[in-house]
Structure 1
Amino acid sequence: MNSSSNRAASPQGSHRPRRRLAATVVITAAALAFSALPASAGAAPTSDASGGTRKVGALPQIKATARPGAGSAHLSPTQRRRLLDQATNAAPDTAHSLNLGPHEKLIPKDVIQDADGTVHTRYERTYAGLPVIGGDLVVHQRHDARTVTYASKAKLALPTTKAKVSADDAKKSALSKAAAKGTRRGDAHTAPRQVVWMMNDKPQLAWETVVTGVQQDGSPSERHVVTDAAGGATLENSEHVESAQGNSLYSGQVTIGSTRQDDGTYALIDPQHGGHRTLDSSVNSNGVLLTDDDDVWGDGTAANPQTAAVDAAYGAQTTWDFYHDSFGRNGIADDGRGSSSRVHYESVKGVPLANANWQDGCFCMSYGDGADGQHPVTSLDIAAHEMTHGVTSATAGLGNNGESPGLNEAISDMMAAAVEFYADNPNDVPDYTMAELDDLHGDGKPIRYMDLPSKAGISSVGYAPLDYWTPEAKWDEAHMVAGVGDHFFYLLAEGSGQKTINGVDYDSPTYDGLPVAGIGLADAADVVYRALTVYMTSTTDYAGARTATLQAATDLYGADSDAYEAVANAWAAVNVGIRFVNHIAVEPPPTEPVAVGQPVSRQITASSSRPGALTYSAKSLPRGLSIDHSTGLITGTPDKAGDYSSVIVITDAAGDTRNLSFTWTAVESGGHFFVNPTTYVIPKWGVVESPLVYQGKPGNAPSDLKVTVDLDHQFSNAMVIDLIAPDGTVIHVKPWGPWVITPELHETYTVDASAVTTVGTWKLRVTDGTPGIFSLDPGHLQRWSLTF
């Protein structure tokens, strides 16, 4: 006879109540002992819209109203399989319609159907039969309209698929690189597979080697090392076992699912949750199925090996139910298949694992017993965090380059918080912290604070979470970078300022000092889940996450909704993108100086969440400039130097206005000195040209023409600079190199321009010559000048 999970319903409130699941036989699990709650945790939640009392600096919470027919429809496993089969059959035609090359093929990975019939199909890509890492895409078919989200829009073509580096050499290199990153007892049990590496927008033939072993903290290691098949350079060396830190969390008396066996005993196999299995790994690393004679599991103490198993089984079923009840998802991979939980996992025999992790390879969670072997790492939020890594892998597949790993960690934290509020377990008061009842650092504090991530301080592995996005985020440690996403989610759910929720005090600041109104946790989770499963890809960074969540908010609530604005403003509050003020969002105006006598073209870019066109006006622009009232384009030629107190006024169709005030400087440019102070973006591996008009004395230029260049780029020494004379003659200014990493270039060069005339438009051309193995941000030509 089967027995299944059954829990009490959560109290009604702003956090969406769960739907109870039918049960055939209810079993009783022994109560688990729990450590003392924080002093404020026992307080009863207040009754306002957020479940908390708002104090200084808070805005009223926004009520997000779903659009009719918005969101995803629930698909049965059969319906989902049918859509995937249809996508497989249509894949050649889909590839052709997307103008993919003759060597490219699409392989359906996942499919989601909206309530209005829109179908979102996620594809992996192959090239000449080789898997393409970073080539995934999502096709959104809305009736007769189709859009596509690409992980990379670069053209996929290779000169050859014949590797110069052998598989054996790639394997040897991979083992060495994995060891250098801390994988102990590493081995590659399967041969390297040949792939196309496309994560940096420049396709390369490569070898992918999977090295397994043990991480420094005792976690299993599954390190993917990607080696350039042409030159042997390491393109990626990333750990694919997702880990979180924490100790035991005791959930009180819970009911879990078990299965009665033929011999009358019970096994921890949960029939209502895909056959999820809970295993004891103290015997061997693969784990042994836990069984019991009377179907009463654990005694509430860590000394009883079943107690950790109860926590793990409870965490797995609760997370499954959350995804099912909230989003209609049928298990981690949405295919009805249950995962496994391995408790008492040891890094090596007799050495306990200090944390927990998720592994795609075994479709399982592994929970250690803490550094001292006495504190099982089986908290509900950790279980939800780890299982969400599985959901992310089955959907967007967020990769291991740039900001994607940090975003991956952040989404797991977001959904862990959502699962806590969904469960509403009185022994684990729902909050916006992680592992709050453990004592990992010996200070009684949580390891994550979503309202102010940096409050966690520097961790034992040497990082402090970021409160706000910075350009360095793409290089920083993933858990550090996750702070940006954690902070965004808290602000989106609850808003900024001081408040108390379920007896816990929060005080969340914003990057720009402006307040943010939240939309409630359930709606915030809806936005993030739809963005993850429909619009994110393996290469999504925080800017891409902003785009994805705004599209998700558009789908769910409409682009003219307060919820849409709340999403944008929550991102702006962590320094990602721009915010709405009076329903108008505007990019920071280009306020670098202009030059007398040099033509100017500066675009004011703005949008409104309300219908209708925007109009533009301006006061006190540099003399000689004017603004187009319908487009916001500022043009003209300044004719007087000075500092101007300029004001741009943007008005929407409803009469709302937004004013931008700034000082705009016009500098002298004439005589022997001519300058263009306008900033130009240097695209990755691209070319940019900046014009400069000479209006001086006719004749030939001097043989010692001075060219001053100011630019920034992570490898500015790799920029090639040319001067183009008015007659088209190209004069070389700076060659490639020397190959020394230099983030900025501020240099004056002397060139012989005596063969060309002076009068007319000169251009400075900058070509990015950075080697293709480097994935870089664009640089900027800040300003340049000619001294005749």
Structure 2
Amino acid sequence: MAVAAAVLTVSALPGGTASASGPSGHGRNVGALPEIKATARPGAAAVDLSPAQRRQFLGRAAKAAADTARALRLGPKEKLVPKDVVKDADGTVHTRYERTYAGLPVIGGDLVVHQRAGGARSVTYASTAALSLPTTSAKVPAATARKSALSTAAAKGTRRAGARTAPRQVVWMTGGRPRLAWETVVTGVQQDGSPSERHVVTDAASGATLDNAEHVESAEGDSLYSGKVTIGSTLQADGSYALIDPAHGGHRTLDSTVDSNGVLFTDDDDVWGDGTAANPQTAAVDAAYGAQTTWDFYRDRFGRNGIADDGRGSYSRVHYEQQQGVPLANANWQDSCFCMSYGDGADGKHPVTSLDIAAHEMTHGVTSATAGLGDFGESPALNEAVSDMMAAAVEFYANNPNDVPDYTMAELDDLHGDGKPIRYMDLPSKAGISSVGYAPLDYWTPQARTDEPHMAAGIGDHFFYLLAEGSGQKTINGVAYDSPTYDGLPVAGIGLTDAAAVMYRALTVYMTSTTDYAAARTATLQSAADLYGAQSDAYEAVANAWAGVNVGARYVDHIAVQPLPTEPVATGQPVSRQITASSSRPGPVTYSAKGLPLGLTISRTTGLISGTPDRAGDFSSVVSIADAAGDVRRIAFTWTALASGGHYFVNPTTTVIPQFGVIESPMVVHGRPGKAPADLKVGVDIEHEFSNAMVIDLIAPDGTVVPVKAWGPWVLTPELHATYTVDASAVQATGTWKLRVTDGTPGFYDLDPGHLLRWSMTF
């Protein structure tokens, strides 16, 4: 699935754009580097807004929403609805908006306006696509969408599925192309006993399912008690005590043993639990302790006043079962009730109430109240990863001797019967194959877009560990870690406190509902630039931690270089290859090269390699990039120039095929007088999830179109390597030919771009 990455229109980032490539020898163990000491910049941290101040800011934003929409050049049918606000110490205000179109909610249309002190404004968009629909009248009736949604939910394992309310009409903008749609919320029970709130989005024109996502955020766990702790309670009028925490927004802890909705825990002597699972109050103690500790962490570190930053407490249900007696094996967060639910484990005897699980679930609530990371592409995985990151940060903040802080999830859990944690942040794949049949990902691959979110969260978990602690072997609180990197190069950490600060600011200020890992890199770099400066070691450490998990370019000698486009070139064929680099130091970078294929040169100022190779062979090439501070980075590689001419002509340059797009790749034919043959051989190499859906034509030098391949058949064909024979005898052979590739995948699919790898003609 293609994800519309958040686009930052803020000041240019020295780190450049994110990519997802790296050397083939990835995953090597690397040595540890000394920790980087990050020095915070004054004015960048968020200030603590009281509930009244927050309401005042949001009220002003609501009154000015129409003017803001006009200033952003939104369409006449678009409106902005303020959702959240963050104010920095330097006066900058970041206001998060949801969007509507003709009165309809826009899913994937959220944005953040960054109003700098002094008047400068910039915007982070979930999607930059133009928002326009030919009609808001649905061809597919609501009843049809509801029936389809119920069927889809049942197929995904939702038991006792039913629509909580009638489908609502929305604009689906996730994926970059707005469509009129129906959103149906299907409720029921998941396979593990968790409540189910599955949001199914149905195309209102075609009836196709556009999205199908579970909104009850869950994490696996087991009983892990925190020893003797102090928790908040309230004296009742009858002299008893209730587990209502007045110091943390009135958080309540409920017993779901009798009623799944929960009954408030009460006690006569205000002494709760006995440290054993047999006592129902023990799990309540852990849940209440987890809620208050997580609240305190967000308050003390970031000035956040509760999950939604409005002073409102959530509630926790322990020993949770569905009304029909289906036990909950793990734990979850639900936006609809603003609450956490904790089950008693797979065997019904191990309450899932550990501190890191509580922090994980409450962070889902924070994410929902801020970035709103959605259900599309990599966003759900990033959502899970952020919860793991903050769960680790809460453990280290609490520093409870009964739950020694570490970089694992539910480390004393025995859910799988092996006594091991369920997730490892230093090397996620150590967890092995999960109960859902997947293994956690250590590094970014295209699989992350479609993998189960808890497994794809391994990428973010690994990034955070590298950012906090760095690569290589080390022992922390008695636990041994050994974290490798994708490119085999070491990464220096900046410490857990600063790593959490970077992530929190990125989450609350720059991420949106469609943020994927590449966009998360951009958001965290901007966050690091705000907090520590764009020329700081901490800024480079963020980029290098992402490079360590195969997201984006790494800084070496303060210079980052995007992967070089060094696939073979061909003699007689014009070349245009862009080298893209940046420096964390002020000023421009300059480019030079030695040993390029003969006939090619590089622009000193732009890094564009151009020309026409005139000799075949392997060339030992070196590209050098220098910044204004005098730093130089050199990259050596072998560049092959293929022979192209005579009877065989080839263009080996890779060209991206955008979804629903059309590309034309040129090839110069020379030394072939007269007409082209009636049996011209056209060789094509394409990679695409549905290569068979590509329509291929040959365009002769005089503009004549010669069909090469028609559409279909419609089956999964990830690669196409074929030679076609066409009759080109009506046109002259000499001149510039073009291969035209048209993406013919149906409009209701959201797929990754394909690639024309190379093509050839044999006369």
Band the TM-score falls in, shorter-chain normalisation: over 0.9
**Kept in 2: contact 1:352–1:372 (CA 8 A):** no
**Which of 345, 350, 355 is residue 320 of structure 2 equivalent to?**
345
Q: Deviations over 1:258-314 (max 9, x none)?
A: 111222221111111111111111111110111111211112211111111111011
Instruction: Say which is worse superposed, 755-764 or 618-627, in terms of deviation.
Output: 755-764
User: Within 2, Cα distance between the matches of 1:218 and 1:192?
Assistant: 25
Who is 1:8 aligned against? none
Who is 1:688 aligned against? 663
Who is 1:271 aligned against? 246
Who is 2:37 aligned against? 63
**Kept in 1: contact 2:30–2:488 (CA 8 A):** no
The percent identity for this pair of structures is: 81
Who is 2:15 aligned against? none
**Partner secondary structure for residue 610 of structure 2:** strand
Who is 1:314 aligned against? 289
Written as runs of structure 1 = structure 2, the 5 A alignment for 1:155-166 is 155-166=130-141
Written as runs of structure 1 = structure 2, the 5 A alignment for 1:31-110 is 57-110=31-84
**Kept in 1: contact 2:30–2:483 (CA 8 A):** no
User: Within 1, Cα distance between the matches of 2:343 and 2:725?
Assistant: 65
Who is 1:6 aligned against? none
One-letter amino acid of the counterpart of residue 541, structure 1:
D
**Partner secondary structure for residue 223 of structure 1:** strand
Alignment of 1:719 onto 2:688: no
User: Within 2, Cα distance between the matches of 1:629 and 1:338?
Assistant: 59
**Kept in 2: contact 1:724–1:765 (CA 8 A):** yes
Written as runs of structure 1 = structure 2, the 5 A alignment for 1:379-528 is 379-528=354-503
**Partner secondary structure for residue 74 of structure 2:** coil
**Partner secondary structure for residue 246 of structure 1:** coil
**Which of 594, 599, 619 is residue 624 of structure 1 equivalent to?**
599
Who is 1:39 aligned against? none
**Which of 734, 737, 749 is residue 724 of structure 2 equivalent to?**
749
**Which of 89, 106, 113 is residue 132 of structure 1 equivalent to?**
106
Written as runs of structure 1 = structure 2, the 5 A alignment for 1:297-312 is 297-312=272-287
Alignment of 1:654 onto 2:616: no
Who is 2:22 aligned against? none
Residue 188 of structure 1: CA displacement? 1.2
**Partner secondary structure for residue 243 of structure 1:** strand
Alignment of 1:253 onto 2:228: yes
Who is 2:186 aligned against? 211
Alignment of 1:112 onto 2:109: no
Residue ranges of structure 2 left out of the alignment (5+ in a row)? 1-28
**Kept in 1: contact 2:30–2:471 (CA 8 A):** no
Alignment of 1:606 onto 2:593: no
Who is 1:36 aligned against? none
**Which of 363, 366, 373 is residue 338 of structure 2 equivalent to?**
363
User: Within 1, Cα distance between the matches of 2:541 and 2:750?
Assistant: 32
Q: Deviations over 1:709-757 (max 9, x none)?
A: 2111111122222222223333332232221221111222233333333
One-letter amino acid of the counterpart of residue 714, structure 1:
E
Who is 2:653 aligned against? 678
Alignment of 1:728 onto 2:703: yes
Residue 501 of structure 1: CA displacement? 0.7
**Kept in 2: contact 1:200–1:774 (CA 8 A):** no
**Partner secondary structure for residue 347 of structure 1:** coil
One-letter amino acid of the counterpart of residue 672, structure 1:
H
User: Within 1, Cα distance between the matches of 2:696 and 2:199?
Assistant: 38
Instruction: Say which is worse superposed, 81-90 or 477-486, in terms of deviation.
Output: 81-90
Q: Deviations over 1:593-649 (max 9, x none)?
A: 111111111111111111232222212111111222222221111111111111112
Written as runs of structure 1 = structure 2, the 5 A alignment for 1:555-634 is 555-634=530-609
**Which of 328, 334, 351 is residue 303 of structure 2 equivalent to?**
328
Relative to the length of structure 1, the TM-score reads: 0.91
**Kept in 2: contact 1:497–1:508 (CA 8 A):** yes
**Partner secondary structure for residue 59 of structure 1:** coil
User: Within 1, Cα distance between the matches of 2:594 and 2:326?
Assistant: 71
User: Within 2, Cα distance between the matches of 1:202 and 1:230?
Assistant: 14
Residue 63 of structure 1: CA displacement? 0.3
User: Within 2, Cα distance between the matches of 1:233 and 1:722?
Assistant: 30
Instruction: Say which is worse superposed, 746-755 or 213-222, in terms of deviation.
Output: 746-755
**Partner secondary structure for residue 678 of structure 1:** coil
Q: Deviations over 1:644-666 (max 9, x none)?
A: 11111222223222111111111
Residue 174 of structure 1: CA displacement? 1.3
**Partner secondary structure for residue 64 of structure 2:** helix
User: Within 1, Cα distance between the matches of 2:723 and 2:413?
Assistant: 59
User: Within 1, Cα distance between the matches of 2:152 and 2:316?
Assistant: 30
Who is 1:220 aligned against? 195
Residue 99 of structure 1: CA displacement? 2.1
One-letter amino acid of the counterpart of residue 159, structure 1:
P
One-letter amino acid of the counterpart of residue 293, structure 1:
D
Who is 1:45 aligned against? none
**Cα distance change of structure 1 residues 555 and 689 upon mapping to structure 2, 3 Å threshold:** same
**Partner secondary structure for residue 346 of structure 1:** coil
User: RMSD between aligned alpha carbons?
Assistant: 1.5
Residue 670 of structure 1: CA displacement? 1.2
One-letter amino acid of the counterpart of residue 564, structure 1:
Y
One-letter amino acid of the counterpart of residue 138, structure 1:
V
Who is 1:34 aligned against? none
One-letter amino acid of the counterpart of residue 602, structure 2:
I
User: Within 2, Cα distance between the matches of 1:495 and 1:643?
Assistant: 38
**Kept in 1: contact 2:259–2:323 (CA 8 A):** no
Who is 1:3 aligned against? none
Who is 1:768 aligned against? 743
Residue 349 of structure 1: CA displacement? 4.8
Instruction: Say which is worse superposed, 197-206 or 276-285, in terms of deviation.
Output: 197-206
Written as runs of structure 1 = structure 2, the 5 A alignment for 1:145-164 is 145-164=120-139
Residue 56 of structure 1: CA displacement? 8.3
One-letter amino acid of the counterpart of residue 751, structure 2:
L
Residue 351 of structure 1: CA displacement? 4.3
Who is 2:507 aligned against? 532
User: Within 2, Cα distance between the matches of 1:370 and 1:189?
Assistant: 28
User: Within 1, Cα distance between the matches of 2:635 and 2:567?
Assistant: 15
Relative to the length of structure 2, the TM-score reads: 0.94
Instruction: Say which is worse superposed, 122-131 or 487-496, in terms of deviation.
Output: 122-131
One-letter amino acid of the counterpart of residue 103, structure 1:
K
User: Within 2, Cα distance between the matches of 1:99 and 1:162?
Assistant: 25
One-letter amino acid of the counterpart of residue 186, structure 2:
V
**Cα distance change of structure 1 residues 281 and 745 upon mapping to structure 2, 3 Å threshold:** same
Q: Deviations over 1:126-169 (max 9, x none)?
A: 11111111111111222332222111122222222111221112
**Kept in 2: contact 1:202–1:772 (CA 8 A):** no
User: Within 2, Cα distance between the matches of 1:302 and 1:466?
Assistant: 34
**Partner secondary structure for residue 409 of structure 1:** helix
User: Within 1, Cα distance between the matches of 2:221 and 2:371?
Assistant: 26
Q: Deviations over 1:567-618 (max 9, x none)?
A: 0110111111111111111111111111111111111111111123222221
**Kept in 2: contact 1:200–1:773 (CA 8 A):** no
Who is 1:236 aligned against? 211
Residue 202 of structure 1: CA displacement? 1.7
**Partner secondary structure for residue 726 of structure 1:** coil
Residue 348 of structure 1: CA displacement? 4.7
